[in-house]
């Protein structure tokens, strides 16, 4: 059934992106309520237990990203989104109890749902929007994520005021519970207005009639052409009509694309994401429960979130106008330079330097037009389902590591040292992106797989007179023997 207010593509983007809203909201709100939970709700817990409230969702997300691939393959993308939304409602209810173990369980389950959405959401969008709109739709995922962060920061802004008037008990529950409204909204949409699966899911399950129906309703009038492309992609990705497995990611066909996708996933976290949005109080110099300092941190965090949101719109524009590779490369280079500048000022002066803090407000602009805005979009375009799952696992495991070890690492090397480390990682990765990534705009997944296998990445076969660029003869033999029919 069509929606009369929105175009089919707009409606699809709304459906696929709403999971990112409560992803951003759950991350943003915990920054606002964490220390208040320690001082006014769970007064007997240790610092380690407090940190677990913030980090446990990343463990859940790593598990959820694996389950997301299984659910998307077995049950479909639409049903996967529905399962996630229902679980999110249950998880949110658990976080509202004044019981530490139930809050931990709720946060863990929220993380599982976030992991599900991190895999199924991009898949749904990539398979349900026209080819020329995929870049724009993919970057809007992170626009909704930042809207969720901003809403959380706005709610968090009122927590100090609630503390002053003695209403903290009500305010922290409002903060933790509000994100569930987005899940309720999408459940309504998926049960009333979008009851069909994606055409890719139908084609992969040899249901061509259903695939053509969905294409005609929501995507394009070029039904036969799109269906033929999907069938071709299925045949390229599958061997003997079986789903691509984990081991195949290291085969000559996928290894370059997988390596690139894994590096993209790592750099989403190792270019400063968790530090900037989970620990803004630390960066901007707020105290533990000092109302004045807390308000300053929330104000700066809110400003950071607003800049980041508008930056995602810039990314959505750039990704369709100039493609993926140029913003990916030069955006990450600019991000590295910003962090190097911050580190230099902090090393010369101190972490209290206001110029250094305001320089960091430039970070979301460059981060958003690079890995922050198109990280998951890029690896979802170049990899099969299992590759998307593994890269999402890498993203969440790295998020957990950064979340858990940021404070001790900061205590050891200082904030300047932390951002210098991130800057070095970003600069090295900029070189890799420049040398080995390819432009994905306007290409099918099958075309990208072949291009990565033959022309891109550190391990590829390329004719240059009599020269073959290969790492060793064994890889050459495997490539020629195992994938000869694809090379033809």
Q: Are residues 309 and 416 in the same domain?
A: yes
Structural domain containing residue 317: 244-481
Q: How far apart are CA 124 and CA 420, in angstroms?
A: 37
Domain count, the chain: 2
Q: Secondary structure of 186-228 in the HEC alphabet?
A: HHHHHHHCCCCCCHHHHHHCCCHHHHHHHHHHHHCCCHHHHHH
Could you give the 3-state DSSP secondary structure of residue 352? coil
DSSP classification of residue 247: G
Q: Are residues 251 and 182 in the same domain?
A: no
Q: Is residue 488 part of a domain?
A: no
In 3D, which of 413, 387, 323, 384 has the Cα closest to residue 134? 323
134 contacts 125 by C-beta, under 8 angstroms: yes
Q: Are residues 187 and 267 in the same domain?
A: no
Q: Which of 137, 166, 195 is the last residue of a domain?
A: 195
Q: Is residue 416 part of a domain?
A: yes
Does this model's pTM top 0.75? My answer is: no
Q: Are residues 449 and 381 in the same domain?
A: yes
Which residues, listed in sequence order, are joined to residue 53 by a DSSP beta bridge?
none
Q: Is residue 235 part of a domain?
A: no
Q: Are residues 256 and 356 in the same domain?
A: yes
Q: Is residue 318 part of a domain?
A: yes
Residue 373 contacts by C-beta under 8 Å, 6 or more apart in sequence? 139, 142, 311, 312, 315, 316, 319, 327, 331, 367
pLDDT at residue 241, as a whole number: 46
Q: Are residues 249 and 163 in the same domain?
A: no
Q: Is residue 210 part of a domain?
A: no
**String of DSSP letters for 103-163:** HHHHHHHHHHHHHHHHHHHHHHHHHHS-GGGHHHHHHHHHHHHHHHHHHHHHHHHTHHHHH
Q: Which of 162, 177, 195 is the last residue of a domain?
A: 195
Q: Are residues 368 and 291 in the same domain?
A: yes
191: number of Cβ within 10 Å: 12
Q: Are residues 259 and 160 in the same domain?
A: no
pLDDT at residue 410, as a whole number: 86
Q: Is residue 208 part of a domain?
A: no
- Inter-axis angle of helices 385-436 and 371-382, nearest 10: 120
| Domain CATH for 102 | 1.20.1250.20
Q: Are residues 362 and 432 in the same domain?
A: yes
316 contacts 374 by C-beta, under 8 angstroms: no
Q: Is residue 428 part of a domain?
A: yes
Local confidence pLDDT in tens for the 488 residues of the chain: 444 455 777 777 778 888 888 888 888 888 777 767 777 778 787 767 777 888 888 889 889 878 887 888 888 888 899 999 999 999 999 988 888 899 999 999 999 998 888 888 888 887 888 777 776 776 677 778 888 888 888 887 776 555 555 555 567 788 888 888 888 888 988 888 887 888 878 877 777 787 777 777 767 667 777 777 777 777 766 554 456 778 888 888 888 889 999 999 999 999 988 888 777 777 876 434 454 555 676 677 778 878 887 887 787 777 778 888 898 999 999 999 999 999 999 999 888 788 888 899 999 999 988 988 778 778 878 888 788 878 878 888 888 888 878 878 888 898 999 999 999 999 999 999 998 888 888 777 778 878 887 766 676 554 444 334 444 433 444 444 444 333 33
pLDDT at residue 399, as a whole number: 86
In 3D, which of 294, 360, 273, 361 has the Cα closest to residue 156? 294
Residue 16, Cβ density class (10 Å: 0-12 exposed, 13-18 middle, ≥19 buried) = buried
pLDDT at residue 89, as a whole number: 93
Q: Is residue 295 part of a domain?
A: yes
Q: Report the half-sphere exposure of 269 (CA within 13 A, side-chain side).
A: 22
Q: Are residues 352 and 426 in the same domain?
A: yes
Residue 114, Cβ density class (10 Å: 0-12 exposed, 13-18 middle, ≥19 buried) = buried
Q: Are residues 55 and 182 in the same domain?
A: yes
In 3D, which of 294, 285, 274, 279 has the Cα closest to residue 357? 285
Q: Are residues 273 and 155 in the same domain?
A: no
Q: Which of 180, 195, 210 is the last residue of a domain?
A: 195
């Amino acid at each position: 059934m069509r929606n009369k207010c929105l175009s089919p593509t707009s409606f699809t983007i709304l459906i696929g992106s709403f999971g990112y809203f409560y992803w951003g909201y759950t991350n943003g709100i915990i920054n606002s309520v964490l220390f208040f939970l320690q001082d006014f709700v769970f007064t007997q817990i240790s610092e380690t237990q407090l940190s677990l409230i913030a980090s446990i969702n990343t463990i859940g997300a790593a598990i959820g990203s694996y389950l997301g691939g299984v659910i998307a393959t077995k049950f479909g993308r639409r049903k996967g989104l529905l399962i996630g939304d229902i679980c999110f409602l249950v998880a949110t209810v658990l976080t509202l109890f004044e019981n530490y173990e139930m809050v931990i369980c709720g946060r863990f389950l929220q993380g599982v749902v976030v992991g599900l959405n991190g895999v199924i959401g991009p898949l749904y969008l990539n398979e349900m929007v026209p080819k020329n709109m995929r870049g724009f739709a993919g970057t809007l995922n992170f626009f909704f994520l930042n809207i969720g962060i901003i809403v959380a920061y706005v709610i968090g802004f009122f927590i100090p005021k609630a503390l002053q008037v003695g209403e903290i008990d009500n305010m922290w529950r409002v903060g933790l519970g509000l994100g569930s409204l987005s899940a309720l909204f999408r459940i309504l949409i998926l049960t009333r207005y979008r009851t069909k699966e994606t055409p890719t899911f139908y084609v992969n399950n040899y249901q061509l009639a259903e695939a053509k129906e969905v294409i005609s309703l929501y995507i394009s009038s070029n039904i036969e052409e799109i269906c033929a492309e999907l069938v071709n992609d299925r045949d390229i990705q599958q061997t003997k009509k079986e789903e691509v497995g984990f081991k195949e990611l290291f085969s000559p066909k996928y290894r370059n694309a997988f390596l690139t996708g894994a590096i993209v996933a790592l750099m989403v976290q190792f270019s400063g994401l968790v530090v900037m949005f989970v620990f803004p109080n630390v960066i901007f110099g707020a105290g533990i429960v000092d109302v004045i300092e807390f308000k300053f941190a929330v104000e700066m965090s809110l400003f950071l979130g607003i800049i980041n949101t508008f930056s995602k719109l810039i990314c959505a524009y750039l990704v369709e106008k100039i493609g993926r590779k140029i913003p990916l490369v030069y955006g990450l280079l600019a991000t590295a330079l910003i962090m190097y500048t911050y580190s230099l000022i902090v090393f010369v002066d101190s972490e209290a330097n206001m110029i250094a803090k305001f320089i960091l407000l430039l970070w979301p602009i460059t981060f958003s037009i690079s890995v922050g805005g198109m990280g998951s979009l890029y690896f979802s375009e170049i990899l099969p389902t299992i590759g998307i799952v593994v890269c999402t696992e890498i993203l969440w495991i790295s998020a957990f590591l950064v979340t858990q070890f940021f404070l001790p690492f900061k205590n050891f090397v200082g904030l300047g040292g932390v951002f210098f480390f991130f800057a070095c990682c970003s600069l090295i990765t900029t070189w890799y992106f420049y040398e080995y990534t390819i432009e994905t705009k306007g290409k099918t997944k099958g075309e990208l797989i072949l291009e990565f296998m033959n022309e891109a990445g550190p391990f590829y076969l390329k004719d240059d007179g009599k020269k073959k660029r290969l790492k060793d003869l064994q890889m050459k033999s495997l490539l020629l023997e195992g994938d000869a029919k694809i090379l033809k």
